[in-house]
């Protein structure tokens, strides 16, 4: 039991040449952290949530403030659409105003994306290399609206 307590309460970490102690929660990067989270929270962990709010921007701000005042260690953030587009995880949602405000989806890549993937000339097994190509294709087909899929195929070929 002493060893478990030591593992849970030791929250020191190093960034460059400086050492820090984490104030709240378990140590960052500890392999014990997700196990303890699962034991304590079971299936209540929520990370990213996508929602369409039909009650106006002012009410949304009030609701967000309410949520952020429930528990001081948990803070919610909000991302609003810009230019009729909203990225969420690896999908970007685009509102098409000319077509009754329909929504199209496409694969979203952050500005920091380098397009660096497994080099086909590497010594990895051929099945791994084919898996990279297949996952690119499947992801584009699954996430992209029909209109955008043909464009994504060209981008995939360019990346590869």
- 64-86 confidence digits (pLDDT tens): 999 999 988 788 888 888 888 99
Strand, coil or helix: 8: helix
Q: Can you give 24-93 as a three-state secondary structure string?
A: CCCCCCCCHHHHHHHHHHCCCCCCCCCCCCCCCHHHHHHHHHHHHCCCCCCCCCCCCCECCEEEECCEEE
Tokens (6 digits) for 147:
């209109």
Q: How far apart are CA 77 and CA 64, in angstroms?
A: 8
| 152 closest CA partner among 91, 102, 97, 101 | 91
What predicted TM-score, i.e. pTM, was given to this entire model? 0.56
Q: 33-37, 79-83, 87-91, 153-157: lowest mean pLDDT where?
A: 153-157
pLDDT bracket for residue 160 (50, 70, 90) = low
pLDDT (mean) for 40-63 = 83
Q: How far apart are CA 160 and CA 119, in angstroms?
A: 9
> 35 φ, ψ to 5°?
-65, -45
- What is the reported pLDDT for 29? 72
Q: How far apart are CA 42 and CA 62, in angstroms?
A: 30
- What is the reported pLDDT for 101? 63
For residue 131, the cross-strand partners are: none
């Amino acid at each position: 039991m002493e060893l478990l307590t030591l593992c849970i309460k030791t929250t020191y970490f190093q960034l460059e040449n400086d050492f820090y102690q984490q104030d709240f929660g378990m140590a960052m990067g500890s392999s014990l952290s997700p196990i303890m989270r699962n034991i304590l929270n079971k299936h209540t962990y929520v990370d990213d949530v996508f929602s369409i709010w039909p009650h106006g921007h002012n009410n949304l701000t009030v609701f967000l403030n309410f949520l952020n005042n429930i528990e001081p260690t948990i803070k919610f953030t909000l991302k609003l659409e810009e230019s009729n587009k909203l990225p969420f995880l690896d999908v970007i949602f685009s509102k098409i105003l000319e077509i009754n405000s329909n929504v199209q989806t496409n694969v979203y890549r952050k500005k920091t994306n380098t397009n660096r993937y497994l080099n086909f000339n590497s010594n990895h097994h051929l099945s791994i290399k084919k898996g990279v190509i297949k996952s690119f294709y499947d992801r584009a087909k699954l996430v992209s609206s029909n209109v955008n899929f043909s464009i994504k195929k060209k981008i995939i070929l360019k990346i590869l």
